[in-house]
Structure 1
Amino acid sequence: MQRRTSGEFLYLTTTGRVSGLPREIEIWYLEANSRYYLLSEGGRKANWVRNIEKNARVKVSVGKRAFAGTARVVDEKRDAKTYALAHRLGKQKYDWDSGLPVEIIPDTSPPG
């Protein structure tokens, strides 16, 4: 279980848009202002992005933290500031800044 708790990757669980089943991916992530950002290399064609567009509720596991949240695709025209932030963070952390940004906002209420 070392790789799961290292914090190097984020594990994102979406709900399959067709099957309704949980779908988990392992992906690099960025973090700022208590939010998480992912860059989809496949843009809107990526299955996980398509799942989010159908159902924004997600589960996340990163390092020793696990939480539920709401995800959204960041639109470059409507939210240029967040779009630029995600790319800037990607460039700083991974020297990679291409892809469609997805923002994850953790739930603030305690699990229950």
Structure 2
Amino acid sequence: MSDDTTTALAQDRIIDITTIGRRSGEPRRIEIWFHRVDGRYYITGTPGRPRDWYANLVANPGFTFHLKESATADLPATARPITDPAEREKVFTDLFTLLAAFLGKPGQEPEAWLATSPLVEVTFP
């Protein structure tokens, strides 16, 4: 990865992702936040309704991670859904700490996040 890409992965928050539709097989692009925790990259969503992006990544884990803030790059990536309760708790605990520092306020309802929020770890080849 270039220095610009490495810097963007360390400091940016907003990206686009292009997934492959689980039913249509067509590319689907959305804007979303990503998070870096302990040198690993994660995408999550707020608790509640099912997310199409998550269902697409479960069905087709390969996707494109589009940097668009401090650098522009289209990175091939793979998503690993995190479903193990202990691993989810660890990631969300660390993520809430990070978000509280970043946003200046504590995370909301950790139990709801643990129970119903989509969570994937992102890896780059």
Normalised to the residue count of structure 2, the TM-score between the two structures is 0.65
Amino acid at match of 1:55: N
Amino acid at match of 1:88: T
Amino acid at match of 2:61: A
Q: Deviation digits for residues 5-62 of structure 1, max 9, x if unmatched?
A: 9x45111111000010111110122124553212212567100000011011010011
Amino acid at match of 2:80: R
**Which protein is bigger by CA-based radius of gyration?**
2
Residue 83 of structure 2 aligns to a residue in which SS? coil
More helix by share: 2
Q: CA RMSD in A?
A: 2.6
Which region of structure 1 is more displaced relative to structure 2, 37-46 or 66-75? 37-46
Q: Deviation digits for residues 87-112 of structure 1, max 9, x if unmatched?
A: 433333344464332211111xxxxx
Using the alignment, how far apart are the partners of 1:86 and 1:75 within structure 2? Answer: 16
What is the aligned residue count?
102
Q: State the match for 1:39 in structure 2.
A: 44
Q: Percent identity?
A: 26
Using the alignment, how far apart are the partners of 1:89 and 1:100 within structure 2? Answer: 18
Normalised to the residue count of structure 1, the TM-score between the two structures is 0.71
